[in-house]
Structure formats: structure tokens, C-alpha cells
Chain A
């Protein structure tokens, strides 16, 4: 029995190091290759040794697909391809291909230069890894080999985020990556057609949340920032360089302009500035409104937002700083946080999800005394706010996408086990679709029943369809044919079909004209054979299914009519029945 097998190597009942193995119709595909932000030991990368005990990855995997440039989806890629060793194709969208190496390099710098880790991938490895990348367009059908094809759909999570359909013959799997079902200030909403995959693998970060309207959240955010700035506080917004940062920048930029505020807004690194440039060049990936107005005014050219210098952090007076990374686990955002944490006037706004183990996760869960490196204890007096600006679909959005794609079953990844459990029930009850949530290393096996495509002669098909014109669900017709399991015609075999036909003469005593006889035969058969298709044709003949009955005058005896009943061997029973029926004569007409 054919089957689809799915094994998460990461992101199974967890958020972080997304990496899912899919085997479909003999093809093996790896979806995403991420790192885990919460660990800095072996656990940060997926366990690739699971894929093949011994033997090369390239021989086993047909392709690797990266859904978007977030490190928890692509962070392990250079490690995987250069250090473990994989030379096959890696598919991603153009913006992902452009931005991914920059983030990887950034990540590498933090890990190697700041933390001094050895045995990490090098800059050259990132470059070599990116050479294996094949860029795809949205909706382009990419033929990986003769049988395996993949297709990208818009996911809206960050610039260039995509969902992927993986298809072999009539079997298919859709992997959503991270996606967002509500358009925001800079990106559009995810969309997929009714592709009816066998399996939909969806993220479930916000499996239990149903977020209030975006407008409210935006107003809330602006209010909090405004208040903090008014009382002379400093606001830290830890963000990832691309994505949320741009949305919040657009938001603050327009707010500052409207309210005529003077407090400075800064970007933490040069990266974000560069990031804005990417948004300008890949504007076709943003939402409708930005695309329409970009000629007059490019939304990503900010007037109020300036580059940040480390020295600014000690400047007196209010300010707003966007700093990377978003989970306060390393880098500049953590530095600034340590500087500002002691002052209750200041505020930190966490605009996105934080993985367990990060400083961001700790302060959000209410911890106020943090143990830092070197046994230092940092007391957090500053205000801590959380705003869900993360561009993940909420429960409603996930249900909506499942409804759009109409999969046979759903598999949840990229979420916490408890929340998944809730969503699993919801999906099974409301949509009546079976739902799975494997843990890392656990395999889900789905039997599939692919139909078998064959060629059918057009003549046979047309003949069949012409007869089937009367739509009658209760009485399906049978189609007879010969299946040849090799590419050669019946004639080549010397096996031309032989038609055996019978025609019987039935003598009837009936002095009336042939047409009338035929009519009588027609009405008689019609009354007897209620379950059959009896027709009176314009040329005077009568048909019962495919059996033809014609009336003719007898050559010698004008009082006798000859009924010619003609049928093929395939209809023998009915034909023979008809002749015996007609032989009994027609019922006397009530004339």
C-alpha cells in the first residue's frame, strides 16, 4: 500500500529548529533546516544522523525546501550542507535567497566572534551553501525530477515567505512554513487554492489564540510607546531585522508624523537599514497598497528613523530603539536591555514570540531577577510589555487555511504540545479531518490510495460519453475496454477486436404498415422493459440499449411483418430474451 511518511526532526510539538522529513511516493524531501534559539549546544541543530545512519544525505534526499529566512527555519543550512554534507538542490524564493545568507552571517558572527564557539560553520561555508540554492517564483511549478514537482504559494509571514506544495503523481503534501492569514501594514495574507492535498503540514504557534483586531493592537502599541516617551523613558523594541521591524517602523513613522513628535527613533544595526532596501527592491512581495503607491512614495524610506550608534544608549532623554535579535538572547538588544533594565521609567516591548530559554521568554513569564553570565544578577525594573505582532496565523487563521486547501488530513508542527492538543481536537471536530501532532523523531504514516493514470482511446471515451448523455445515477453504464500494460497498440499484437453480431428474423402476423408495427413493438417493449432504455428512432427503428430492431414487410405475405433483431455478442442475453419475447407476439392493440 502506498503511503506518506512524515518525521519531524525539529519543531515537533516545539517551536524552533524546524526540520521535517517527508517521504511521498518514494521521494524524500526535507522541509526547512532550522536552528533552535533556546540552546547553544548540540540540541540547537536537528539530528541529521537520523536521516541515514551511514550513507550520504545527497543519495537519500531528493531535495530540501526552505520556507523563509528566519533562522529557526534556515539556521542549520550551512551546517547541514557543508559540514554534514549535502549536494542536492535547495529550493527557496528569491527574497529568501537574498536575505538568508546575511542573517546566517549575522548569526555566525554572534556565535563565533562574541561567544567564541569553535567548530561552527564559516563564511565560506555559507557562500558554498548558497550556491546550491535554486530560486523559485510564486506559483511556478518546479520539476525537481521527472516525477517530483513543487510549487510555492504566498505565505505573508515575512518578505519572501512561502508555502510549498510537494506533489508526486496524484499524491501531494502542503507545508505551510510560517504564515499569516491577515494582511498587515506591509505584507499581504497567505493564500492557497483548493489543491486538496493528502496531507497539510501546518504551523500552530498561536493554536489557541484568537487575536483581536489588528487596529486595536496597533492603537495599544502606539499608546504605550507614546506614554513612555512622554514621561521621558526609553523604549526598547527587540525585533528581528526583517519583518516585524518594517511593520512597526511604518506604524511609528506615520504616528510620529501625525503627532509631530520629536523623540528620536533608532535602528540598532546597519542590517535593518539594508533590510529596508530589500523591501524596496522586492516590493512585488509586499501588500497591494504599498505596491500601488511605491512610485509616488516608497513606504520603506523613513524620515524619522535613524541609524543607531552604541553610544546613543547612554544619551539622556526619551528615545525609541529597535534592536536585534527579537528574543533578547544575544547581541545588541540584550546589551541595551541590560543597560536600561534598572530604570522603571523605561519600557521593553516584546512584539513577537519568544522561545523557551531566552531572556525574552523569562521576562515575559514574569521573572524579574535574571541570572546573567558570570553569576551576575540583573534586576528588571523597567516595564515589560508583550504585544502579539508576530505574523503567525491564529487559530481562526489556521482553520481558514485548512478550509481553503481541503486536505485529507492535517499534521501540526511548530507549536507547543498543549496548544496543539486543543487545535487538534478543534480540527477533528469542526472540519472532520484527521489530525496528527508527532513529537521530534516520531513518524506518522498515512496510507494513500493514488489512482492510476492510463491513456484511453478518444474514440472509446467519446462513444461512452455519447451514450451516457442521460444522467442517471441509479443506472450506471459499464465501460468495457482492454488495458495494455505496455506502450503498444492492440493491433501490434495481431489481436484486432472481433465483433460477433447476430440478427434474428422474427415473423409477426400484422397486416398494418411497417411503421405502425414498429410503433407497436416500441410501446410493447417500453411497457415490459421498464428498467431499460427503449427508444424509437426517427428512421422507424426501435432500440433497446444497443439492440436494434427494424420492421420490414415480408416479401411474399403482406399480412406478415418481419422484425429484424440485431445485437452483439456482448448483449447476447438481452438479445435472445428480446427475440423470445417478440416471438410471443404483440398484445392486441386496443383499437
Chain B
């Protein structure tokens, strides 16, 4: 979602974007925070010449190793964000969205964040599932909808956990105990984080934890330009929450306990560290703020402020950035660094469980997931293992999906259906030939009864013309079966044809009637009569051929 303005604003994209309401509202907050952070530190000028490959080669690492630098873009503005969001059409889980009558798109709960979705793209006979950023753990969002993913022809799987070896539950425990330890020793805790998502779960854990750990007097600060909105918005999406939280709303009580933390003044939120915060600020304390990359945002100030004291601790919970790289510019640091990444997305064990449950015909996933991570190449369990093996894709690669479209849905009007005469061919199987007029509108096909032959009308001339030119709409039965050559030749002889010569060809036989200069090609599923323009002869041959075929 974060790159949406680049697509909608700069590529000439004119289509509709579909998303759930929480996705739009929270996505807007994340983008707003990003734009706000970036715009706080305006750059008077920017350099781009270094992006030239020849120059980049000479630069020190990590610039030297950066890939695709030419595609790097400036951050969008709030105006572009608003324009991008205005193109979104809101949808709900399990809503079936018709696209041009050709395919149906349906979002399903993915269980990872408020409003996060997996998508099903299906026609009447084919089904493709897109599973991205899903979670089977019970946190605050609605649980993942697995049942609807069944019977997929293709399942596209991406957005797995970044830290497949870490257990989120354990990490939360570690987070709490480290936080308590630091605060008890009189130090401050800094938690670089995004303004929505895992923070709701962390606050909930702390809510249960602080009283037992004797931290009731420690202030918690949440600093972000969208802190207030994020906390408020989280309370109003009752329908997108897990069952427990929904029941709370029915009472009616706010679904998240951070409402109570705010009411009792244990948690305070500020748009930035300027203004009210500087006067309220009390140490020791716990600060949640962004950006988790430590490159911009209010977190930078706290790193500078607390970095020199070994009493303080910084705890990394967001898995998106390597904490060592994030810390590099601040070295040497006296403060303690704890790394407890919390990533609730699917790990490989859960993936194989999911695939067993859902049983797609084919799995498609990014290349990285088909082999163990480079740093742990011996861990064969850290890759997707399924039958048939997953198809992998790379950046900008076009992949042909391994299924063939064979059927399309078509509707038969009741009048036409009434006129059909089914014949029982085998027990339980009936056949009926259909001749109808095909109407196609909005990619929906309807078979209508054929029009009645027009009554010849008007003057004599007209009448004659209609007699002369045969109506090509006269219906001929469909033929079926195949012609046994030997019997056919015998029949020909019986009917007075002599001088018959049979040649074998790759696919069948050619029967030559030399006298009549006529050639009959007989194949498994076709017969071709080539003759002189002798109508009598042709009709005779036709009737002989038809004797061998079934008509419908």
C-alpha cells in the first residue's frame, strides 16, 4: 500500500483500486507519518549524478552495492497521497466484486493486521488465490479465512515472515522482561516502531503486565504525528477484529485496553516531541516512536539523547530493518540494544500446514522461498516444500500459469431449454443438440432461441430469390462416429462403383474412384469428398457416408 501514489499518480493509471476500509484509513496514517517525517527535514538540493553506474562503482559501500538506484524516487506529498486514496473503492471481506463480467474478485481476511486481505480472483471455472502477509496466530485482527481458499487452481504465496526462526510469543515475553529490567534500574526504554499494527498488541501486553511488574507509575509515551488518530481508529473497526474484541464492543466497551491506559494517564500520546511533550516529559519512561529505520522521525532525537547511558535500552520489534545497520551511524553506543523482532506472518511450518489444508493444484511464490536463506543454507526446513514443486518468479518476470481455460459459463434462456430434446446415450448421460443465437453483453453469454424462419414476403421477384438461394440457417444435424474403410468400400461396390483404389495416409485413408475422378479422404474424425461438379454423384456419395455416421 505504501507505494500506491507512485502507481496512481505517475504511471497514467486510470483504473479503480479496491481495498478494505481499515486498510485505507490506517494506510493513510502510515503515509501521513512518513510524509510528515520527511518534510520536517527538507533538503535544499539533491544529488543524482552518483546514480550513474560508472560513478556508483567507485563509491564506498553500501552505496556501491545498492541495486536499481535509478528507480529510487522522492517521497510523495500529502496531496499525492490524498489523490491516490480518492481512487480507492472500499470493499468488505467476502464481497464479490464483478470485473467486466469476466472475473470476480473477493477479499478475505488474512489475519495479519486490521483489514488486511488475501484475494481470490476467479472466473466460473478457474480460481487463483493471492495469499500475502497472512497470520495464523490470534492477535487482534479477525482470524485468517482459510476455507475460502480451497479448490484453487493456483495459489500465489508471498509476504511470509522475515524472521522465520523467531517465535513471536517468546519475543513479546522477552520484550516485557527487558523493558521492566531497564525501567527498574532507572533507565529509559526506546521502542522504534510504526504507529499502527504490532504496537496495539504490545500495549495490550504491557497493560496486563505493568501492574504485576510494579511499573504502574512509569509513564508510557507514544509520539507520532498520527498517534492520536491511530489509537482512535483502532477502536472503531469492531467488525474487523477477532471474536474476543468484538464481544467487548457489544457490551459496549472499547475493544483495546489502551483506551483505559489513556484514561488513567498511563499512556500519553503526542504529535511530536516539541510542544506539550517537553513539559510533561518525566524519566524514567518508555517511548514508542518512529521511524524504525532510525534514519528520520522523532526516534533520532531519543537515540542522541539516551545513547550515551548504559542504563537505557533500545528494543527493536519491527522486523523490516536490520537492527545492526540501523544502529551503525550511532556507534559507539553505550545504551543496551535488544532485538526481539515480532513478525506474526506465516512461517514455513505454518505454510506447509496451510497448503495441506487448502490443497491448491499449483503454488507460485517468489524465488527466495524455494531455497533456504543464504545465511542458513543448511536449514532445509526454511523453504516451501510442496507437491508439485512451487513455481518461482523473479522481479519483472512474466509467468505463464499452468492451467488452460477450457470452459466458460453460458446461460440458456428457459424458452430454449424447453425446446431441447435430450437423448439418453448411456445410463445417466443425456445429450441434446443446441442451436441457438449467441448474445454476448458485458462478457455475459446468453443463448436465445433461434428466430423463426422469416416468411417470404413481397413481390414475385423477391419470392423467387428466396427460393433460389437456400437459407443457410436450415439446421443440419451434427455428425458423429467414424467410417470403417473396408465396409465403406464394400458398400461402394455394392452401389455400382468400380475401379476403387484405397491408399493409406498418415491419418487415415484415401478412397479413389478413378472413373469418376473422385477422391474421398477418410480420417478418424472427418471425411472429405472431392469430386467434379456432379451433384447427383455427390448426393449419392453423401448418403452412403451418412449411413455410417450417427446423427444428432
Q: Are A456 and B420 in contact (CB under 8 A)?
A: no
Interface residue tally of chain B, by bracket? 35 or more
**Segment with Cβ contacts to B, from A247-255, A381-389, A435-443, A461-469:** A461-469
Among B252, B414, B434, B447, the residue within 8 A (CB) of A482 is B434
Q: Are A295 and B228 in contact (CB under 8 A)?
A: yes
Q: Are A284 and B237 in contact (CB under 8 A)?
A: yes
Q: Are B433 and A451 in contact (CB under 8 A)?
A: no
Residues 430-449 of B at the A interface (beta carbon under 8 Å): 430-438, 440, 445-447
Q: Are A501 and B526 in contact (CB under 8 A)?
A: yes
Among B92, B252, B517, the residue within 8 A (CB) of A281 is B252
B408 to chain A, nearest CB (A): 5
**Segment with Cβ contacts to B, from A60-68, A391-399, A401-409, A488-496:** A488-496
Say whether, besides A140-B93, A458-B407, A483-B433, A504 and B420 are in contact (CB < 8 Å). no
Q: Are A140 and B440 in contact (CB under 8 A)?
A: no
Q: Are A284 and B533 in contact (CB under 8 A)?
A: no
Say whether, besides A295-B233, A570-B476, A495 and B525 are in contact (CB < 8 Å). no
Among A151, A497, A577, A579, the residue within 8 A (CB) of B480 is A497
Across the interface, which residues of B come within 8 angstroms of A528, CB to CB?
469
Q: Are A493 and B426 in contact (CB under 8 A)?
A: yes
Across the interface, which residues of B come within 8 angstroms of A565, CB to CB?
533
Q: Does B478 contact A (CB under 8 A)?
A: yes
Which of A281, A465, A506 has the most chain B CB atoms closer than 10 A to its own CB? Answer: A281
Q: Are A140 and B533 in contact (CB under 8 A)?
A: no
Q: How far is the CA of A248 from the CA of B339 in the complex (A)?
A: 54
Q: Are A579 and B533 in contact (CB under 8 A)?
A: yes
Q: Does A137 contact B (CB under 8 A)?
A: yes
Q: How far is the CA of A555 from the CA of B237 in the complex (A)?
A: 84
Q: Are B93 and A137 in contact (CB under 8 A)?
A: yes
Q: Does A507 contact B (CB under 8 A)?
A: yes
Q: Does A425 contact B (CB under 8 A)?
A: no
Q: Are B533 and A98 in contact (CB under 8 A)?
A: no
**Segment with Cβ contacts to B, from A28-36, A84-92, A410-418, A471-479:** A471-479
Q: Does B254 contact A (CB under 8 A)?
A: yes
Which of A461, A498, A531, A570 has the most chain B CB atoms closer than 10 A to its own CB? Answer: A498
Across the interface, which residues of A come within 8 angstroms of B415, CB to CB?
449
Q: Are A97 and B476 in contact (CB under 8 A)?
A: no
Q: How far is the CA of A486 from the CA of B480 in the complex (A)?
A: 18
Among A459, A498, A577, the residue within 8 A (CB) of B470 is A577
Q: How far is the CA of A83 from the CA of B414 in the complex (A)?
A: 43
Q: How far is the CA of A432 from the CA of B73 in the complex (A)?
A: 58
In chain A, what residue has the closest Cβ to B539? A576
What 0/1 pattern do residues 385 to 411 of B give for CB contact below 8 A with A?
Answer: 000000000000000000001111111
Q: Are A501 and B529 in contact (CB under 8 A)?
A: yes
Across the interface, which residues of A come within 8 angstroms of B451, CB to CB?
476
In chain B, what residue has the closest Cβ to A531? B469
Across the interface, which residues of B come within 8 angstroms of A505, CB to CB?
517, 530-533
Q: Are B252 and A496 in contact (CB under 8 A)?
A: no
Say whether, besides A478-B475, A532-B472, A545-B472, A449 and B414 are in contact (CB < 8 Å). yes
Among A476, A569, A574, A582, the residue within 8 A (CB) of B472 is A574
Q: How far is the CA of A511 from the CA of B165 in the complex (A)?
A: 86
Q: Are B525 and A497 in contact (CB under 8 A)?
A: yes
Say whether, besides A281-B235, A500-B542, A573-B472, A140 and B408 are in contact (CB < 8 Å). no
Q: Does B95 contact A (CB under 8 A)?
A: yes
Residues 454-490 of B at the A interface (beta carbon under 8 Å): 468-476, 478-483
Q: Are B252 and A278 in contact (CB under 8 A)?
A: yes
Across the interface, which residues of A come within 8 angstroms of B539, CB to CB?
576
Q: Does B413 contact A (CB under 8 A)?
A: yes
In chain B, what residue has the closest Cβ to A570? B476
A352 to chain B, nearest CB (A): 24
Q: Does B545 contact A (CB under 8 A)?
A: yes
Q: How far is the CA of A477 from the CA of B437 in the complex (A)?
A: 6
Q: How far is the CA of A464 from the CA of B474 in the complex (A)?
A: 17
Q: Are A495 and B480 in contact (CB under 8 A)?
A: yes
In chain A, what residue has the closest Cβ to B454? A474
Say whether, besides A504-B533, A545-B472, A295 and B431 are in contact (CB < 8 Å). no
Say whether, besides A499-B479, A502-B528, A570-B476, A458 and B94 are in contact (CB < 8 Å). no
Q: How far is the CA of A465 from the CA of B524 in the complex (A)?
A: 28
Q: Does B249 contact A (CB under 8 A)?
A: yes
Q: Does B238 contact A (CB under 8 A)?
A: yes
Among A294, A500, A503, A531, the residue within 8 A (CB) of B236 is A294
Q: How far is the CA of A11 from the CA of B228 in the complex (A)?
A: 47
Q: Are A458 and B408 in contact (CB under 8 A)?
A: yes
CB-based A-B contact count at 8 angstroms: 260
Q: Are A529 and B430 in contact (CB under 8 A)?
A: no
Q: Does A372 contact B (CB under 8 A)?
A: no
Q: Does A421 contact B (CB under 8 A)?
A: no
Q: Does A118 contact B (CB under 8 A)?
A: no
Q: Are A456 and B479 in contact (CB under 8 A)?
A: no
Q: How far is the CA of A238 from the CA of B439 in the complex (A)?
A: 58
Q: How far is the CA of A282 from the CA of B428 in the complex (A)?
A: 54
Say whether, besides A139-B95, A569-B479, A485 and B408 are in contact (CB < 8 Å). no
In chain B, what residue has the closest Cβ to A546? B472
Say whether, besides A480-B433, A507-B533, A532-B472, A456 and B239 are in contact (CB < 8 Å). no
Q: How far is the CA of A476 from the CA of B452 in the complex (A)?
A: 11
Across the interface, which residues of A come within 8 angstroms of B435, CB to CB?
478-481
Q: Does B425 contact A (CB under 8 A)?
A: yes
Q: How far is the CA of A94 from the CA of B469 in the complex (A)?
A: 68
Across the interface, which residues of B come within 8 angstroms of A339, CB to CB?
none
Across the interface, which residues of A come within 8 angstroms of B255, CB to CB?
281
What 0/1 pattern do residues 515 to 540 of B give for CB contact below 8 A with A?
Answer: 00100000011111111111100110
A64 to chain B, nearest CB (A): 19
Q: How far is the CA of A495 from the CA of B431 in the complex (A)?
A: 11
Q: Are B433 and A481 in contact (CB under 8 A)?
A: yes
Q: Does B246 contact A (CB under 8 A)?
A: yes
Among B96, B254, B410, the residue within 8 A (CB) of A453 is B410
Among B229, B429, B531, the residue within 8 A (CB) of A503 is B531
Across the interface, which residues of B come within 8 angstroms of A537, CB to CB?
none
Q: Are A488 and B429 in contact (CB under 8 A)?
A: yes
Among B417, B437, B552, the residue within 8 A (CB) of A452 is B417
Across the interface, which residues of B come within 8 angstroms of A479, CB to CB?
434-438, 447
Q: Does B72 contact A (CB under 8 A)?
A: no
Q: Does A141 contact B (CB under 8 A)?
A: yes
Across the interface, which residues of A come within 8 angstroms of B406, CB to CB?
457-459
Across the interface, which residues of A come within 8 angstroms of B381, CB to CB?
none
Q: How far is the CA of A270 from the CA of B228 in the complex (A)?
A: 29
What 0/1 pattern do residues 275 to 299 of A give for CB contact below 8 A with B?
Answer: 0011011111000000000110000
Q: Does B549 contact A (CB under 8 A)?
A: yes
Q: Are A452 and B414 in contact (CB under 8 A)?
A: yes
Q: How far is the CA of A452 from the CA of B445 in the complex (A)?
A: 11
Q: Does B159 contact A (CB under 8 A)?
A: no
Across the interface, which residues of A come within 8 angstroms of B482, CB to CB?
496, 498
Q: Does B205 contact A (CB under 8 A)?
A: no
Q: Does B21 contact A (CB under 8 A)?
A: yes
In chain A, what residue has the closest Cβ to B482? A498
B224 to chain A, nearest CB (A): 13
Say whether, besides A502-B538, A570-B476, A573-B472, A451 and B232 are in contact (CB < 8 Å). no
In chain A, what residue has the closest Cβ to B546? A500
Q: Are A477 and B438 in contact (CB under 8 A)?
A: yes
Nearest 4 A/B pairs, CB to CB? A573-B470, A499-B526, A451-B411, A455-B407
Sampled A-B contacts (13; CB under 8 Å)? A98-B252, A137-B239, A139-B92, A142-B94, A468-B440, A479-B438, A493-B425, A495-B550, A498-B479, A500-B526, A500-B549, A501-B526, A576-B539
* Known interface pairs A483-B433, A532-B472, A569-B479; 6 further A-B residue pairs with C-beta atoms within 8 A, sorted by A's residue number: A94-B238, A135-B239, A284-B239, A451-B412, A477-B437, A579-B533
A residues in contact (CB < 8 Å) with B: 94, 97-98, 135, 137-142, 151, 170, 274, 277-278, 280-284, 294-295, 449-459, 461, 464-465, 468, 476-486, 488, 490, 493, 495-507, 528-529, 531-532, 545, 564-565, 569-574, 576-577, 579-580, 582-583
